């Protein structure tokens, strides 16, 4: 499969860098930078971060990686607006139009860039019309500091309202075999409006990593996301059914899961949540996996939506900057 996607000249897969920074800073700085370089070398252009990923640490890491290294090839996507306490916990959201320019100024400094490619509010605030937030980012596009505007984890109606103010290049949504909700309304709406889709949580935040078996699973294992831990047995049975197909196809579960998503359309860019070169390389092999319609049906039947136990990534709503009680 060609490493190209969605009419924007971007790579078929993107790199999500959030996990390269942890609450205290580096996960592994040298390996993280090597992973970003390996991604760019392999033709991956889309590099995803947020100003609140480890309080700016993630942006500084990317800035360091891009210093003198293929900046023109990279397509840098930044989310803004998450409010962090000194201990790293998120306590609110600020997407007021007045503050957009300020957040962008600090982001450009940390990334050591004079423009970013995609700027998007981390979430919307129910007390602020999305048109106002998008209008403020649109001013930054006109001023040359931002190339394109995106949105993340929004509904179809919000997408339409935003698009009426300024063309929305991409919508970033959770999408995996363990969460296919976007197929109901976001995906068709994005397609109707000509907006690309960036998927995150493509390996169900580790559940589809597939490198462990049900018998050996340790619920304290950090690779199992918190939101699946309570229902781990039933969800692992589904992963096991998927692993039988993976064995037949001589690929890993993660490669099969990514190949399934790639089969859903060239306007969908799965993000790889890799923080090591070997993970990146393993995930990129999904581009070579060929799936027939029959394979796709079997994969979806192995993880039927009605059998998925528990929620995935928390869907948080903000009003006046906080989560309403
Ligand atoms: N827009 C949003 O609201 C939003 C929300 C969340 C995340 N994101 C973005 O999406 C990115 C990825 O999200 P995520 O990390 O939550 O989900 P993910 O990509 O579904 O899962 C990451 C997990 O998969 C494992 N993994 C990575 N590559 C693998 C491979 N080749 N084989 C087996 N396992 C592999 C990692 O293992 P290890 O633990 O061993 O590294 C980690 O546990 C983030 O970095 C961030 O940039 C966006």
4 — pLDDT class (breaks 50, 70, 90): very low
Residue 48 Cα: closest atom of ligand 1: 47
pLDDT at site 228: 82
Could you confirm whether 53 is annotated as catalytic? Answer: yes
> What does DSSP assign to residue 81?
-
Measured CA to CA, the distance from residue 236 to residue 214 in angstroms comes to: 6
- 16 Cα: distance to centroid of ligand 1 (angstroms): 7
- Check pocket membership of 18 for ligand 1, CB cut-off 6 A: yes
| Homologous superfamily of domain range 14-207+258-289 | NADP-dependent oxidoreductase domain (3.20.20.100)
pLDDT tens-place string over residues 216-226: 566 666 667 77
3 — pLDDT class (breaks 50, 70, 90): very low
- Rg of the chain (C-alpha set): 19
Region for 155 from its dihedrals, namely left if φ exceeds 0, alpha if ψ lies in -120 to 50, beta otherwise: beta
Report the DSSP beta bridge partners of residue 179: 176
pLDDT at site 315: 82
> What does DSSP assign to residue 87?
T
- The residue behind tokens 């493509």 is 202
SS3 assignment, position 99: helix
DSSP one-letter string for 118-182? EEEESS-BTTS-HHHHHHHHHHHHHTTSEEEEEEES--HHHHHHHHTTS-EEEEEEE-BTTB-GG
Q: Which of 53, 75, 119, 175 is labelled catalytic?
A: 53
Can you give the residue ranges of every domain in the chain? 14-207+258-289
Mean pLDDT confidence for 71-80: 95
- Check pocket membership of 202 for ligand 1, CB cut-off 6 A: yes
């Amino acid at each position: 499969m060609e490493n190209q996607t969605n009419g924007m000249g971007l790579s078929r897969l993107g790199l999500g860098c959030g996990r390269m920074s942890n609450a205290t800073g580096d996960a592994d700085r040298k390996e993280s930078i090597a992973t970003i370089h390996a991604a760019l070398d392999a033709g991956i252009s889309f590099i995803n971060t947020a100003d609140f990923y480890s309080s700016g640490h993630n942006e500084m890491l990317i800035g360091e990686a891009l210093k003198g290294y293929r900046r023109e090839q990279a397509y840098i996507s930044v989310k803004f607006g998450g409010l962090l306490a000194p201990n790293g916990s998120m306590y609110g959201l600020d997407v007021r139009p007045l503050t957009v320019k300020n957040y962008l100024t600090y982001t450009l400094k940390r990334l050591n860039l004079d423009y970013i490619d995609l700027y998007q509010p981390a979430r919307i605030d129910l007390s602020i019309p999305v048109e106002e937030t998008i209008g403020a980012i649109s001013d930054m596009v006109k001023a040359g500091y931002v190339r394109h505007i995106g949105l993340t984890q929004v509904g179809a109606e919000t997408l339409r309202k935003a698009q009426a103010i300024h063309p929305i290049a991409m919508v970033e949504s959770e999408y995996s075999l363990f969460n296919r909700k976007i197929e109901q309304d976001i995906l068709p709406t994005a397609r109707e409006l000509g907006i690309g889709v960036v998927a995150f949580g493509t390996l169900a935040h580790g559940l589809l990593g597939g490198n462990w078996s049900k018998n050996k699973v340790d619920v304290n294992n950090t690779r199992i996301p918190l939101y699946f831990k309570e229902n781990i047995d039933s969800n692992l049975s589904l992963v096991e059914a998927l692993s039988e197909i993976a064995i037949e196809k001589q690929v890993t579960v993660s490669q099969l899961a990514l190949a399934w998503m790639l089969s859903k359309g060239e306007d969908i860019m799965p993000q790889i949540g890799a923080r090591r070169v070997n993970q990146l390389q393993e995930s990129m092999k999904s581009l070579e996996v060929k799936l027939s319609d029959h394979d796709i049906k079997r994969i979806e039947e192995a993880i039927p939506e009605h059998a998925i136990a528990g929620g995935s990534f928390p869907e948080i709503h903000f009003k006046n900057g906080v989560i309403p009680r």
